[in-house]
Amino acid sequence: MCGIIGIASNKSVATNIIQSLKKLEYRGYDSAGIATIVNGDIDEKKCIGRVDNLEKILFKNPSNGPLGIGHVRWATHGIPNQANAHPHSSEEVSVVHNGIIENSNELKKNLEKKGYKFKSQTDTEVITLLLTDFLKKFDLINAINKTLEKLNGSFALGIIFKKYNNVVVGARRGSPLAVGYGPEENYLGSDSYALKSMTNKITYLDDGDLCVLTSGKVEFYNLKNIKINKEILTLSNDKHAAEKGDYKDFMSKEINEQNITAKTCIKEYVDQLKQDINLYNFPIKPEIINKIVLIGCGTAYHSCVTAKYWFEELTNIAIEVDIASEFRYRKIIFDSNNLYIFVSQSGETADTLAALDLCKKNKAKTCSIVNVVESSIARTSEFVLPIHAGPEIGVASTKTFIGQMLVLYILAIKISEVRKEISRSDYTNKINELKKLPDLIQNTLNCQDKMQIIAKDFLQARGAMFLGRGLSFPIALEGALKLKELSYLHAEGYPAGEMKHGPLALIEEGLPVVILAPKDRYFEKTISNMQEVIARGGKVILISNESNNIISENVRFTLKIPATDDLLTPFLMTIPLQLLAYHVASLKNCDIDKPRNLAKSVTVE
């Protein structure tokens, strides 16, 4: 992950670098650093922790160079300390890096033999010293190319030089990088979000591309060192969506916006007049699909598991779900009648992108469901279904989970209708029910106060369990993921029927167990599993759309969510679980938007 920024200008760039780094903190916040050229020399400043700390250092000791690079780190090689913070500089060059250099040990040994000394434990420093070495014999572009040829692994780089003190160089292989164009200055950034406050004119680098920025121009080179022209895109302005407004943190804003997320997404896909779903130029005729393979990581994977139940219920298509980091290394038998769907909020997740690349290499039909439409996954896949959720800043995925599930559900009912697996009237009913969803989400959001009370029960707990069957099982997984990532409390999500095969041993007096039991075909079974938990001392929080007082006996808390079509319950079940995780984390004073050890966009393996 890590975030990179670079600015080539004629005026001091430190303030803009700091502001952009603050935007990039969602990619990593173990340390931060900046390097500029001051009086002909590289001036490097770095700190452990947040960009605020770096800002304080610069306030006391300004760095007024007219070009520079900055970095926020998510540690891979070497602990998060000052020495390992980027940039990594020699007398001659300063480098910021996102990615992993897989052969860094070997390169390090060779450089040490030549007499170079390392100051950090990072893989990045080999780039600094290789480049320093090649610059003794080669000009700028050749020295960079010689260096890049030596590197195995993935990188996005930002580099400044003592000798070539008017240029910022960027290079991409496997990690995202964009160039922005401003009046009398140009920018380099890990994503358009970091650059948006300065420009809306963006070019995305492709793998193998190199760019050389000065204040007045940008030049691009391809793998073969040939100068190339690249497309300049004009981005839409969604500045307000990326502001916290009156909310305490981005996560509470993003949870509370979910009715709007749903409304926007439904409007984008459902033709209000024709009561139909728009799906033009789909990469494969739904009638000939043999199998659908759904691939993602983390929360995105949970939306895929949820979709498996929808597709199986609504179509006769075989469905497989895979975690991207597993899929990319499996021996897959590809079939031209299979459809491979990649789900990702950021569209930059390295494992998901690699799994997509594998499909592309095997000429498989691919489609992506992303939030960031300019992302690598969106650009690599044959067909993109955006979720239209607007920027999500909190590291925990909330509104984008709702958005991913919505697009998958919409796709499932459309494919089912095209294949004539549901009748036209069922299809229209499903669309009508779907249109009610934003209001139902809004009603469900009214459980805020209750979830805050329930959260107190989790403070003394050693862990928690989330149980559900059918469509509630993936939501149990997601509830557990949200709780662990935000509150650092151990949590397990399980199919309720699986408890007796082992996890029931975890139930002890007072352990909070969240039971997801909508009134669907699993209801009675789930309630029996709940009784087994109660009999062993579990403190049950029952979430259901059925208000049956008898069932609620011996249950510590019952939360009633609105009734809806069975297939839509996952959307409503999700909301109390997000709020639960939010309030437990908040009571524990955890950093809500930036949980420890994590980052929003996971661009390393």
What residues are annotated to the active site?
A: 2, 600
In 3D space, the residue among 559, 518, 550, 506 whose CA is nearest the CA of residue 531 turns out to be: 550
Closest CA to 568 of 421, 389, 432: 432
Nearest of 189, 163, 6, 38 to residue 93 by alpha carbon: 163
How many binding residues for ligand AGP (CB under 6 A)?
16
Among 259, 360, 352, CA closest to 301: 352
Q: Specify the residue, 304 or 434, whose C-beta has the smaller distance to ligand AGP.
A: 304
Options 50-58, 151-159, 202-210, 389-397: segment touching ligand AGP (CB under 6 A): 389-397
Closest separation between CB of residue 466 and ligand AGP, Å? 15
Number of Cβ atoms within 10 Å of the Cβ of 562 = 16
The Cα–Cα gap between 391 and 420 comes to 36
Round to whole Å and give the CA distance between 602 and 272: 37
3 state DSSP class of 366: strand
Q: Select 159 or 577, whichever has its Cβ closest to ligand AGP.
A: 577
Choice between 180 and 394, CB closer to ligand AGP: 394
Out of 485, 493, 544, 594, name the contact with ligand AGP by CB under 6 A.
485
CA atoms within 13 A on the CB side of 289: 25
Q: Is the CB of 342 or the CB of 522 nearer to ligand AGP?
A: 342
CB 175 within 8 A of CB 206: no
Residue 297 interacts with ligand AGP (CB under 6 A): yes or no: yes
> Token pair for residue 99?
């990615």
Structure tokens at 487: 């509150």
Closest separation in Å from C-beta 54 to ligand AGP: 25
Phi and psi (nearest 5°) for 212?
-125, 115
Q: Which CB sits closer to ligand AGP, 286 or 403?
A: 403
Q: Which is nearer to ligand AGP, 218 or 451 (CB)?
A: 451
Q: Which is nearer to ligand AGP, 300 or 540 (CB)?
A: 300
Q: Does 592 bind ligand AGP (CB under 6 A)?
A: no
- Among the listed residues 299, 306, 487, 603, the single contact to ligand AGP using CB under 6 A: 299
| Least distance (Å) between residue 326 CB and ligand AGP | 14
Please report, as residue ranges, which positions from 341 to 370 form the binding site for ligand AGP (by CB under 6 A): 344-346, 349, 352
The distance of closest approach from Cβ of residue 303 to ligand AGP in the complex, given in angstroms and rounded to an integer, is: 9
Query: Strand order in 464-468's β-sheet?
Result: 491-495, 464-468, 512-516, 539-544, 557-560
Q: Which of 328, 339, 333 is nearest to 365 (CA)?
A: 339
Q: How far is the CB of 518 from ligand AGP (least distance, A)?
A: 23
DSSP states along 196-207? TTT-SEEEEPPT
Task: Check residue 133 for interaction with ligand AGP (CB under 6 A).
Answer: no
Q: Please give the Cα distance from 398 to 579 (Å, whole number).
A: 10
- Residue window 391-430: x/- pattern of binding to ligand AGP, with contact defined by CB under 6 A: ----xxx---------------------------------
Residue 458: other Cβ atoms inside 10 A: 24
Q: How far is the CB of 490 from ligand AGP (least distance, A)?
A: 16
Of 63 and 371, the one with the shorter C-beta distance to ligand AGP is 371
Q: What's the closest the beta carbon of residue 254 comes to ligand AGP, in angstroms?
A: 11
Q: Which residue is nearest to ligand AGP (CB)?
A: 298
Q: How many CB atoms lie within 10 A of CB 246?
A: 6
Shortest Å distance, C-beta 377 to ligand AGP: 8
Among 107, 160, 300, 356, indicate the residue that binds ligand AGP (CB under 6 A). 300
Cα–Cα distance, 386 to 543 (Å, whole number): 31
Contact between 370 and 386 (Cβ < 8 Å): yes
Binding ligand AGP (rule: CB under 6 A), the pick from 3, 180, 286, 298 is 298
Using CA atoms in the order 474, 476, 482, 487, what is the torsion angle rounded to 10 degrees?
-160
Residue 153 has φ and ψ, to the nearest 5°, of: 115, -155
Binding letters toward ligand AGP, positions 43-82, x by CB under 6 A: ----------------------------------------
Residues that bind ligand AGP (CB under 6 A): 297-300, 344-346, 349, 352, 395-397, 481, 485, 601-602
